[in-house]
Structure 1
Amino acid sequence: MIQKKEPKDWIAVSKETHRELFSELDVLLRAVDRFFIIENLPSAKETLSESNFFDELSAVRDLILRTLSILEVIIPESKKNSYWFQKFAETKFLTDRNRDIFREELYKQDTPEKAVFLLYDSFVNLKGLVTDLLKSGDITYLSYMNIGQILSKEIRENNYFNPFKKDINPEFDIIENQEISDIVKNIRDKDTKKYISLILIYLLRLLRYLKHIDITTQRTISLNTSLIILMLNRSEISMFKNYTEKIIPKITQPDLKMLIQSLSYQFSMETKRVYLQELKEILKKKAPRYFRGRIENSHGILKNLAEQSIVQIAQFYKPGLTGEDIFISFIAKTEQSLRLREDILVLHKFLTLLTEKSNKQEERVRIFGPLRNFMMYFESFTFRLLRYEDYEEFVSFFKEVLSFKKEQVVAGEVNRLREKIHNFRIFLETTLRHIANRTEVRDKPIDMDRIDKTINQYLSG
């Protein structure tokens, strides 16, 4: 059989063919480095010396496996076969001197090909090391940090695939959208153009990272990899906020200064929701549905935040522009507020129905099942629209109600929730008043027919 001859510069060809995979590789290398910074982790480690980092290192192992799967796609089959043959020959046939020559040639990294094989070689070795370490079941802080230092060294010493080599990577950190690009080009003041360009690049970079999060799967490798990418965003958002705080005093336009301050504040509040609420202690929650739900909510919050911020900046310079002109699947702020208001009204009406019918067993059972289904929908799709200040109240109430089983409802145990339901309904009414004060919904009437139809759909389902 005649083997297909690979082109001399196969890396360049591979980059053209697998552009998205090279982008993901860049994200994963950044993410795994940041995951060894304790402040970026989702779990509170109050006493580091006594903490077990088994869950964190398990997540790292899964990211290593994902990285290797990417490298095995972008490296041609014939080159991979050659690598494994050399590895075999190195251990079985080469003299010490020939082994030195082989290693020296690889470590030169005078071509991208050698650099990618060095990265592949390092991750193959790390996979074996981490897998063996995890067999103990107990990973100390020192062991975890030692693995992190090895990984960081391998990544940062790579001549061609070190993602930290440049603050702005011209290969990925570019403004591709023509509308946004034109806005930046037309900014006359040199300093303002620089500030807005960098803010937009930061925001677009966040969206690029989020693009590599898989919110459709329950596979552990994908979920853990997605979590580590979210932790990378925590680090990036911190840098973004530091940059905005640095430039705000230098901006001379009062309305532009106010806009950047507003965006910085929004990021402060929304990132608290993601990292102090949604992802808090997530590695201790092993159920795939719970894990995936938190990842999906966090992804939705951050994606919406970055897109809304970009649109607000664009509309500052071009008021007639809409979110749909920039992002295909953009959901406008008005639409989000209307959806939140409608879903809360449906929830409020459901709870009122349950309270009114709670003394009749048949009616109680008939209402509780659909209510539970709606609450699960609300938890999956509407939680991400809540304010930071309201989130904990919703989580606490939902946790208690959703823990009830059908037998308990039949037995009438749900009646002991009467007071909590009453108090939560009052809380929902307060939340609705806050939403009603939002500028984007102030003149928008409530469609009660639509709300009734939603309730009837759940009741008849």
Structure 2
Amino acid sequence: MSTAPVVHPPRASRVPRDFYEDFVRFSQGSQAGFLAERERWLRALPVEAREELLFEFEMLLRGLERYVHQEDNGVTDAQEQPLVTRDFREELKDIRATLSQAIRLARHLLDPDSDQKLQFRRYVETQLADDRGLRSRIEGERKQETPQESLFVLRQSFESLRNLIDHLLQLPVCGLSLFTDVGNLVLREIVLNRYFRPCRLTEFRLEYDRLRSARLLELLATVPAETRPLFTTVYLGLFRLLHCLAYVSQDAQGPIPRRVRVLLALVRSEALSLVGYLKNEIAPRAGPKPLQAACLRAARDIARETERIARDILVELDRDRAAAARASYAFTQLFQAQVVALTEALAPGSASGEAPFEQLVSATESAERLRRDLWVFSQLCRAAEGHLRGDNVPAAEAVISSIVAFLGYFQDGSYQLLRYVDYEAFDRFSALLTELPWPPEGPAVRTRLIEDLRGFSHVLENTFSAVSRRAQLRGFNFDRDEAERLRDRFLAEGR
């Protein structure tokens, strides 16, 4: 049986560590090895918007986990009719619709070549008549040695479950025990999947769990090291809930998509889990009493408003087609308000004024920050390359020291604002600095470094041009003076 790649602790390095990568890896626990392998697969996958497809896929898996627990999913009115006498036909239809969407997403995430090979292998294996061949096929599905195989197995299982539900829906009544048994089968397939298990509240994925706010990133960089992971967890949890709510939509005239009920059950469940985390994990360790009070206040507000939404709006989903939009709006307002309140507690006065949430997450401000930092990064790399080509090794070493210092600054801020597809080139250059002999002595080492600096400078300049073309920056000129001041500051630190 294959085992997960071993994740060794990072060795000491003169290159700054990426706090977010370390934080996310630690949050993944024993799954970190499998998920690192999955990241490599995802980066090589030739599919448009692959990380967003993966987010939606795993969001649906988490939603299914929550929805099958009908006694506390928040969208079933147990007071209107006791669960034991209820006909769960509509709930089974909700699960079927969610499975169908997950199947479609899995097909998109499997590139055609891999999908055809796995389909053909499955067909050949099903033709094996003897018990040994059948056993080999079942054991092969259990091993799931690659992310492709793992995704393919989950998709096949969901297709079988969907077919089963289609037949069960023909029964005159679908009672609680039947619904529970179907739910347990769905949960079993999800939990046993090796590479695509849904993450817990405090577990995050590098592929899509990033803070895309320059202001919040700057703020978190000032939080003490012992409490920074706690507040980062809350911010990432709130933004993930807002991300989920972006999928609660419907046509102006059409019916509410059935999977919306599943997604709203997920949002309610994770909101209440966040309440527990704020009360039991953060508040006792938040530091000063005002911060502790802010965390307890946030927990109280989320709990109270979530209960109101469940009681007054979610139970109307069957009767009022506008209820889903009203619930989504109420949840969105709630989570945005908590982002603002937490920010104000950490840095009083930083989230005031009109539309404070929109100011905190300004896409224009983040794009300007990223564009400036990319320009500075490329200037530093070009300067080091020029000194090495001129055999001015002491000057090159000073600039490389500036690059190392700038990398720490970049990782805590603008790195988080990059697109996921851009991470690989930046990670590769960071690894190069980690492995680089110091000082870089010998012509062979310097020649390799010159080429790497030149290649990465091209990446930086191309990324700078792509960011400059973003719609958010239309009409905003590049502030070269500010960028030069930042560049000179790091050059001075390297001397």
What TM-score, normalized by structure 1, do the two folds share?
0.62
Residues 231/53 of structure 1: CA separation in 2 closer, same or farther (3 Å cut): same
1:125 paired residue number? 160
> Structure 2: how far apart are the matches of 1:15 and 1:219?
33
Q: Which residue identity is paired with 2:88? A: F
- Find the counterpart in structure 2 of residue 245 from structure 1: 279
The DSSP-based 3-state class of the residue aligned with 1:264 is: helix
Question: Cα distance, 1:268 vs. partner?
Answer: 2.4
Match of 2:210 in 1: 174
1:302-381 superposed matches below 5 A: 302-316=331-345, 317=347, 319-321=349-351, 322-328=356-362
CA, structure 1 residues 165+323, in 2 after alignment: closer, same or farther (shift >3 Å)?
closer
CA contact (8 A) 1:156 1:165 kept: no
Secondary structure of 2:180 counterpart:
helix
State how far apart, in whole Å, the 1-side matches of 2:219 and 2:123 are. Answer: 56
**Is the CA contact (8 Å cut-off) linking 2:201 and 2:274 kept in structure 1?**
no
Tell me if structure 1 keeps the 8 A contact 2:220–2:232: yes
Is 1:299 aligned with 2:332? no
Q: Which whole-Å CA distance do the structure 1 matches of 2:201 and 2:317 have between them?
A: 32
* Other structure's SS at 2:227 match: helix
Task: Give the distance between the partners of 2:99 and 2:252, measured in 1 at CA.
Answer: 18
In the other structure, the counterpart of 2:146 is: 111
State whether residues 283 and 291 of structure 2, in contact with CA within 8 Å, keep that contact through their aligned partners in structure 1: no
Which residue of the partner structure matches residue 233 of structure 1?
267
| Pair 1:59–1:275, CA change in 2 (3 A) | same
Alignment correspondent of 1:271:
306
Instruction: Quote the offset at 1:166 in angstroms.
Output: 8.3
Q: Distance in 2 between matches of 1:156 and 1:278?
A: 31
Task: Give yes or no for contact 1:248–1:257 (8 Å, CA) kept in 2.
Answer: yes
In structure 2, relative to structure 1, the CA distance for the partners of 1:10 and 1:91 (3 Å cut) is same
Q: Measure, in 2, the Cα distance between the counterparts of 1:209 and 1:130.
A: 26
Shift of 1:169: 1.9
How many residues in Structure 1 have an aligned counterpart in Structure 2?
314
Report the aligned-residue RMSD: 2.6
Q: Which residue pairs with 2:14 in the alignment?
A: none
Secondary structure of the corresponding residue to residue 280 of structure 1:
helix
String of CA shifts for 1:237-290, please: whole Å, max 9, x gaps: 11111112213344442332332233223212321232111111523x2xxxx3
**1:52 offset after TM fit, Å?**
1.2
The equivalent residue for 2:445 is: none
Q: Which residue pairs with 2:56 in the alignment?
A: 24
Structure-2 change in CA distance of 1:166 and 1:314 (3 Å): closer
Could you tell me how far apart the structure 1 residues matched to 2:54 and 2:186 are?
Answer: 19
CA distance in 2: counterparts of 1:313 and 1:23, whole angstroms? 25
Deviation at 1:80, TM superposition (A): 3.2
C-alpha displacement at 1:79, in angstroms?
A: 3.4
Counterpart of 2:360, as a letter, is I
Alignment partner of 1:152 out of 147, 163, 187: 187
Q: Distance in 2 between matches of 1:15 and 1:274?
A: 41
Corresponding residue of 2:380 = none
Letter in 2 for 1:175: L
Measure the CA separation in 2 of the matches of 1:96 and 1:178: 59
Contact 1:43 1:282 in 2 (8 A): no
Inter-CA distance 269–49: structure 2 relative to 1 (3 Å threshold) = closer
State the distance in 1 between where 2:227 and 2:128 align. Answer: 63
Retained in 2: the 8 A contact 1:183–1:318?
no
How far off is 1:214 after superposition? 2.4
1 or 2 for the larger relative contact order (CA 8 Å, sep ≥6)? 2
- Encode CA deviations 1:108-137: one digit per residue, 9 max, x unaligned: 111111101111111011110111111114
Tell me the amino acid that sits aligned with residue 244 of structure 1: L
Structure 2 CA distance for partners of 1:166 and 1:49, relative to 1, 3 Å = closer
Tell me how far 1:10 sits from its aligned partner: 6.0
Task: Give yes or no for contact 1:173–1:205 (8 Å, CA) kept in 2.
Answer: yes
After TM superposition, the structure 1 stretch with the greater mean CA deviation from structure 2, 244-253 or 62-71, is 244-253
CA contact (8 A) 2:317 2:324 kept: no
Report deviation, 1:15.
7.8
- Partner amino acid, structure 1, of 2:359: D
Report deviation, 1:105. 2.2
Q: 3-state DSSP class of the match of 2:257? A: helix
Residue in 2 that maps onto 1:256: 291
- 1:37-48 matched pairs, under 5 angstroms: 37=69, 38-45=71-78, 47-48=82-83
**1:95, distance to aligned residue in structure 2 (A):** 4.3
TM-aligned CA deviation for residue 92 of structure 1: 4.7
Deviation of 1:76 (Å): 2.1
Query: In the alignment, is the contact (CA less than 8 A) between 1:52 and 1:139 conserved in 2?
Result: yes
**Structure 1 partner of 2:421:** none
More moved, 198-207 vs 211-220: 211-220
Q: Which residue of 1 aligns with 2:257?
A: 223
1:192 counterpart letter in structure 2: T
The residue type paired with residue 262 of structure 1 is: R
Deviation of 1:48 (Å): 3.1
Question: Does residue 1:51 correspond to 2:80, yes or no?
Answer: no
CA contact (8 A) 1:54 1:137 kept: no
Q: Can you list the C-alpha shifts for 1:165-203, whole angstroms capped at 9, x where unaligned?
A: 784123233323221122111013x44333322221221
Q: Where does structure 1 lack aligned partners over 5 or more consecutive residues?
A: 1-8, 330-461
Where 1:139 maps in the other structure, the secondary structure is coil
Following superposition, the deviation at residue 96 of structure 1 comes to 4.0
User: Structure 1 pair 16/75, CA: closer, same or farther in 2 (3 Å)?
Assistant: closer
Query: What is the alpha-carbon distance in structure 1 between the residues aligned to residue 248 and residue 205 of structure 2?
Result: 22
